[in-house]
Amino acid sequence: MKPFGVLDDVRKVFERSELGRGAREPLVAIESISCTFGEGELVSLLGPSGCGKTTLLRIIAGLMPKSAGSVRIRGEEVVEPHADFGFVFQTPNLMPWRSVIDNVLFPLEIIGRLDAAGRKRAHDLLEIVGLGDFHASRPHQLSGGMQQRVSLCRALVHQPTLILMDEPFGALDELTRMEMNDLLLDIRVRTRATVVFVTHSIAEAVYLSDRVLVFSRRPGRIVEDITVDLPYPRSAATRYTARFSELDQRASRALGVIKDVPPPVAHGASDDGPHGGVHGALQGGTHGH
């Protein structure tokens, strides 16, 4: 895989002036982060809330200046946003005064590429996410999950080569979230884009990613770089394999949510009970023992 993004010793300190009244000292949000990711890779940033994941994503996007270090995408230092990045926010963040299709077309309008091909792509994307019939609706007429799907289309419509996603499915119910995970994997195969995906869900990170970078508590550091060797395409069955629960457990351990359970035994049968999050990981561990 060609190296696509290189982060070298990235540091972010919020100065007292940025923190508002009563801040006695600067806040070190990110201590030092170095990593690389390859072209077409799907990398998750997994960490407890407040550890600096959003901050790092904003820095990669060029939306926020870093205090030290370097971020290079395709060998080029990021100092300002690139129009061929796509950003999906934690909330759907749609414009209430625009219809669904006009929300999706917004990026093309801004970068001046609103042509017939772009319009067709926007409609196709809505079709893919199952909202073809809703192009004329207003955002408030859609459920949270549907709105987030529109926002996914908006992030993809200008064919970005790098998609940055900040806990995009965090506010959705479990069932919708799983659907969205499969949708994302499907879209990623079609677009072959590189994805940096922020989440605080262990199962989601393992299910989606080629690699999971586990963050420490604030100030953020990478404490573990887990390569997820589960084959694509992944499906619900993937979640019940022994390898999945091993990886899930390794991530949980790196996060520090399980301490007293010994590491899993590598062979493990694949007919373990259901897994997911800490609970699943604990179960897998007991079995392995």
Partner 1 sequence: MVECTVRFRVGPMATERSAMFDLSRVDWQRLALPPLGLIVVVALWHVACVGLDIQVSVLPRPSLVLEAAIKRWDLLLSEGWVTLKETIYGFLLALVLGIPLAVAVANSRVLNLTFYPLLIALQSVPKVALAPILLVWLGIGIESKLAIAWLVAFFPVVVDTAAGLQSTPRELLELARSLRASPWQIFWKVQFPAALPFIMTGSKVAVTLAVIGAVIGEFVGSSEGLGYLLLSATSQINTPLAFASLFALAILGIVSYLAVVLVERLLAPLLPPTTRH
Ligand X SMILES: Nc1ncnc2c1ncn2[C@@H]1O[C@H](COP(=O)(O)OP(=O)(O)O)[C@@H](O)[C@H]1O
Residue 265 binds partner 1 (CB under 8 A):
no
Q: Which of 25, 97, 175, 269 binds partner 1 (CB under 8 A)?
A: 97
Cβ 63 vs Cβ 131: under 8 Å:
no
Residue 111 binds partner 1 (CB under 8 A):
yes
Nearer to ligand X, 26 or 277 (CB): 26
Nearer to ligand X, 50 or 65 (CB): 50
Per-residue CA distances from 94 to 141, 180, 279 (Å) = 12, 18, 35
| Torsion over CA: 263, 205, 242, 230 (sign) | negative
Residue 131 backbone class (left: φ over 0; alpha: ψ -120 to 50; beta: rest):
alpha
Place of tokens 């605080």: 200
Q: Which of 9, 16, 50, 127 binds ligand X (CB under 6 A)?
A: 50
Residues 36-55 that bind Mg ion (CB under 5 A): 54
Nearer to ligand X, 23 or 117 (CB): 23
Least distance between ligand X and beta carbon 114 (Å): 32
Per-residue CA distances from 90 to 23, 124, 158, 200, 259 (Å) = 26, 24, 20, 12, 30
Contact of residue 18 among Mg ion, partner 1, ligand X, none (CB under 5-8 Å per partner type): ligand X
Strands 42-46 and 194-199, how do they pair?
A: parallel
Question: Of the listed pieces 14-22, 85-93, 176-184, 263-271, which binds partner 1 according to CB under 8 A?
Answer: 85-93
Residue 53 binds ligand X (CB under 6 A):
yes
Q: Which of 87, 169, 207, 215 binds partner 1 (CB under 8 A)?
A: 87
Burial of 148 (C-beta count, 10 Å sphere; 0-12/13-18/19+): buried
Residue 62 binds partner 1 (CB under 8 A):
yes
Angle of helix 174-191 versus helix 144-156 axis, rounded to 10: 10
Binding residues vs partner 1 (CB under 8 A): 58, 61-63, 80-83, 85, 87, 89, 91, 93, 95-97, 106-107, 109-111, 138, 140, 158
* Contact footprint for Mg ion (CB under 5 A): 54
